[in-house]
Chains A and B, each alone.
Chain A
């Protein structure tokens, strides 16, 4: 049972464009929604995270949009750069707990 569904599986964007990755979750008890970024040959690293008490969180060119009623959240990368090319994972957990449930990942390629 996939508790966090992520789409698309892969994404190609031109430099300067907007990259959008979507995730949907099932468990309404989830209260923490991070995004992890993984470069080839490296482990994932926390990029940005949000809690359901806000609808949006922005850090530089990265923004999380959160829709609690739809049980969906998305990552927007503004002015996408070739250096943003990586695999992105959404995740969710409850009660600030240890069990992060990850999505299936999105491979982003930003063309120069």
Chain B
């Protein structure tokens, strides 16, 4: 099984619908993130969480919300989806105790492709 699992992998929805993307991890990492990937724009941070009680906005949080249900689970919601939220979404984790490089090494899931019509 993958260390970071995202569901669904693909989703097509209509404008105005509520969508939830889910992420679970088996790495035991305390930090979790949601990124969005668009062609030519790279990876942009939506939300991040250091632990269950800590949620922070990233660069592009408008139109999104998150929930950290447990250390291993971090979900991303689009309350009312719009077409410009069509993108590839990635969940990632990292370990605050990682001292191999003294820096934040991200482990990504395989991505959730969302299309909003």
In the complex, are the beta carbons of B109 and A102 less than 8 A apart? no
- A61 lies within 8 A of chain B by Cβ: no
Complex-state Cα separation, A92 to B51, whole angstroms: 23
Chain B residues 37 to 71 lying within 8 A of chain A, measured CB to CB, are: 40-45, 48, 50, 58
Choice from B31, B41, B104 contacting A96 with Cβ under 8 Å: B104
- A9 lies within 8 A of chain B by Cβ: yes
Choice from B44, B48, B50, B105 contacting A102 with Cβ under 8 Å: B44
- B103 lies within 8 A of chain A by Cβ: yes
Complex-state Cα separation, A36 to B103, whole angstroms: 14
Chain A residues 89 to 105 lying within 8 A of chain B, measured CB to CB, are: 89, 93, 96-100, 102-105
| Chain B residues with CB under 8 A of A105 | 40, 42-43
Chain B residues 3 to 45 lying within 8 A of chain A, measured CB to CB, are: 4, 31, 33, 35, 40-45
| Chain A residues with CB under 8 A of B109 | 43
**Residues of A within 8 A of B (CB-CB), count:** 24
Taken residue by residue from 71 to 87, chain A's Cβ proximity to chain B (1 for < 8 Å, 0 otherwise) reads as 00000000000000000
Give chain A nearest CB distance to B70 CB in angstroms.
Answer: 19
Interface residues on B, range: 20 to 34
Complex-state Cα separation, A51 to B101, whole angstroms: 9
Complex-state Cα separation, A45 to B102, whole angstroms: 17
| Chain A residues with CB under 8 A of B90 | 43-44
In the complex, are the beta carbons of A97 and B92 less than 8 A apart? no
In the complex, are the beta carbons of A44 and B108 less than 8 A apart? yes
In the complex, are the beta carbons of B102 and A96 less than 8 A apart? yes
- A32 lies within 8 A of chain B by Cβ: yes
In the complex, are the beta carbons of B41 and A104 less than 8 A apart? yes
In the complex, are the beta carbons of A32 and B104 less than 8 A apart? yes
In the complex, are the beta carbons of B103 and A6 less than 8 A apart? no
In the complex, are the beta carbons of A102 and B42 less than 8 A apart? yes
Taken residue by residue from 80 to 117, chain B's Cβ proximity to chain A (1 for < 8 Å, 0 otherwise) reads as 00000000001010100000011111111111000000
In the complex, are the beta carbons of B103 and A34 less than 8 A apart? yes
